[in-house]
């Protein structure tokens, strides 16, 4: 009987097994690739920074601008839009989306628009606002007029979310607040739950110069410009330990914005000692998160065009980082950080004017006990960064007092910090000067 001819895979079982294994591997890797893409992963990118969007071409909003001294503030055009929105009583009221402003300004406009309603969950500031409704025009003081202007349009003529900058005749204690988005109140829900507005409601005359994205170089420039005009009783620097640390001297420049507001998000205008263009900032922000385009090699193309390849590339290139190469216009890096230099300069200005200047530290929530994977402890970090300055720390803050999505205070944190500042103000100003 004639023997049947064997199939090829029976004649070559090892080869057949290898081919079958490769086939299953390709199917498995393809399914993983599809799953990773459906989960939002992009080929070529380790991750996308949470505060950025990928865009084909940068487009800009000009809601913020520099003044002649390089101080970053809200533009007159943006202020006019907010004021018009809050005063528009026509039959067809302006919608919030018609403003087309940055989120920080949209939020302020929307929540001040609801100030006269019962929609705001903010007992302190709403009660403060309602106390003005029963006052007759003849009884209004300078302080009353300043706050009525603030209620009507929360952005003053200098481009800050504050009462007008002037030395108002008042028996209230005048407090100048310096700071960034914490002081602006970005995470107050509503914004009038911010610690600056809480202090106003508690009877202090608050001049709020907090601006989103500001740094100690801006705080110093604000001190130099506005201290003679306001002549406050006390200045408080609200220093966020998360991103107020400065490794380079920055001299504010009228020509170079501190931040660009774009369709990709907020882009820093000063990186690693250099003023940069918006495109440079966008590229540098992404470079640390994406595989560089380094030629037509097959491995590089595979890694850049697949999520799996991207994961492998970053796993095998752990020390990948980028820096800006502009040595002709970069300042040297300082170690340790030079934030203390700015604090000392501000305190010197205060001393020359007979005005106390206090440093209040806002801990980064990842520095607090109880945070999983706690980084350098706050108690160790603070004295290392401010060896020659007395600083004040709010007690009893926990990671639960911060919003997990953006690292800012939630309403609980805002209240605790307002309580801390109130105690600090009262104890300082009760002492003979």
How far apart, in whole angstroms, are the C-alpha atoms of residue 40 and residue 48?
A: 10
For residue 142, count CB atoms less than 10 angstroms from its CB and return exposed for 0-12, middle for 13-18, buried for 19 or more: middle
Asked if 9 and 21 count as a contact pair (C-beta separation under 8 A), the reply is: no
Q: What is the pLDDT of residue 331?
A: 62
Q: What is the pLDDT of residue 122?
A: 67
Residue 22 lies in a domain: no
Residue 50 lies in a domain: no
Residue 91 lies in a domain: yes
The tally of domains found in the chain comes to 1
CA 50-222-77 angle, 5° bins = 65
Residue 200 lies in a domain: yes
Give the torsion through C-alpha atoms of 108, 110, 112, 118, to 10 deg: -140
Find all residues with CB under 8 Å of 241, minimum gap 6, and list them. Answer: 361, 362, 363, 364, 367, 378, 381, 382, 385
Residue 261 lies in a domain: no
For residue 247, count CB atoms less than 10 angstroms from its CB and return exposed for 0-12, middle for 13-18, buried for 19 or more: middle
- From the list 256, 248, 246, 251, the residue with the least C-alpha distance to 277 is 256
Q: What is the pLDDT of residue 49?
A: 66
Write down the residue that tokens 């106003």 correspond to. 200
Give one DSSP letter per residue of 337-396, joined into a string: --HHHHHHHHHHHHHHTT--EEEEEE--GGGSTT-TT--S-HHHHHHHH-TTS-EE--TT
Find all residues with CB under 8 Å of 164, minimum gap 6, and list them. Answer: 146, 149, 156, 157, 158
CATH number at residue 147: 3.40.50.1110
- From the list 22, 29, 26, 43, the residue with the least C-alpha distance to 301 is 43
Find all residues with CB under 8 Å of 347, minimum gap 6, and list them. Answer: 357, 359, 389
Q: What is the pLDDT of residue 328?
A: 46
Query: Could you tell me whether strands 174-178 and 234-240 are parallel, antiparallel, or unpaired per DSSP bridges?
Result: parallel
- Map residue 14 onto helix, strand or coil: helix
- As averages over each run of 10 residues, the pLDDT of the chain (433 residues) reads 60 82 90 87 74 85 95 96 84 72 92 78 85 86 94 97 95 97 94 96 97 96 97 97 89 94 92 88 78 70 86 75 51 72 96 97 87 70 89 93 90 97 96 70
Residue 266 lies in a domain: no
Give one DSSP letter per residue of 231-274, joined into a string: --SEEEEEEETTT---SS----BTTB-SEEEETTEEEESEETTE
Residue 291 lies in a domain: no
Residue 287 lies in a domain: no
The domain of 167 spans 60-252+334-429
């Amino acid at each position: 009987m004639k023997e049947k001819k064997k199939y090829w895979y029976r004649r070559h079982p090892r080869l057949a097994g290898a081919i079958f294994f490769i086939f299953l591997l390709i199917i498995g890797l393809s399914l993983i690739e599809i799953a990773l893409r459906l989960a939002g992963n992009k080929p070529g990118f380790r991750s996308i920074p949470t505060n950025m969007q990928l865009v084909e071409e940068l487009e800009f909003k000009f809601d913020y601008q520099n003044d002649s001294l390089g101080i970053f503030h809200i533009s007159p055009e943006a202020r006019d839009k907010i004021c018009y929105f809050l005063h528009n009583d026509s039959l067809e009221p302006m919608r919030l989306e018609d403003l087309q402003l940055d989120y920080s300004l949209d939020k302020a406009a929307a929540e001040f628009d609801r100030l006269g309603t019962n929609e705001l969950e903010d007992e302190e500031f709403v009660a403060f606002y309602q106390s003005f409704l029963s006052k007759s025009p003849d009884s209004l003081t300078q302080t009353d007029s300043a706050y009525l202007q603030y209620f009507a349009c929360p952005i003053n003529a200098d481009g800050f979310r504050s009462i007008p900058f002037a030395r108002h005749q008042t028996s209230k204690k005048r407090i100048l607040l310096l700071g960034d988005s914490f002081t602006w109140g970005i995470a107050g829900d509503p914004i009038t739950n911010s610690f600056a507005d809480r202090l106003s409601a508690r009877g202090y005359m608050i001049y709020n110069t907090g601006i989103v994205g500001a740094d100690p170089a801006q705080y110093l420039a604000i001190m130099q410009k506005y201290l003679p005009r306001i002549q406050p009783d006390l200045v408080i620097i609200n220093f966020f330990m998360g991103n107020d640390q400065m490794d380079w001297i920055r001299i504010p420049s009228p020509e170079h914005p501190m931040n660009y507001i774009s369709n990709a998000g907020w882009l820093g205008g000063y990186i690693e000692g250099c003023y940069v263009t918006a495109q440079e900032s966008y590229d540098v922000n992404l470079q640390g998160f994406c595989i560089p385009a380094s030629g037509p090699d097959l491995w590089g193309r595979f890694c850049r065009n697949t999520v799996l390849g991207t994961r492998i590339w970053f796993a095998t290139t752990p020390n990948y980082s980028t820096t800006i190469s502009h040595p002709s216009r970069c300042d040297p890096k300082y170690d340790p950080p030079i934030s203390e230099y700015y604090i000392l300069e501000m305190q010197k200005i205060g001393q020359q004017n007979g005005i106390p200047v206090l440093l209040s530290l806002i801990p980064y929530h990842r520095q607090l006990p109880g945070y999983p994977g706690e980084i350098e402890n706050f108690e160790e970090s603070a004295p290392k960064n401010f060896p020659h300055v007395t600083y004040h720390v709010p007690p009893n803050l926990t990671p639960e007092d911060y919003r997990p999505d953006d690292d800012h205070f939630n309403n609980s944190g805002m209240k605790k910090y307002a309580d801390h500042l109130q105690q600090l103000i009262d104890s300082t100003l009760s002492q003979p000067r």
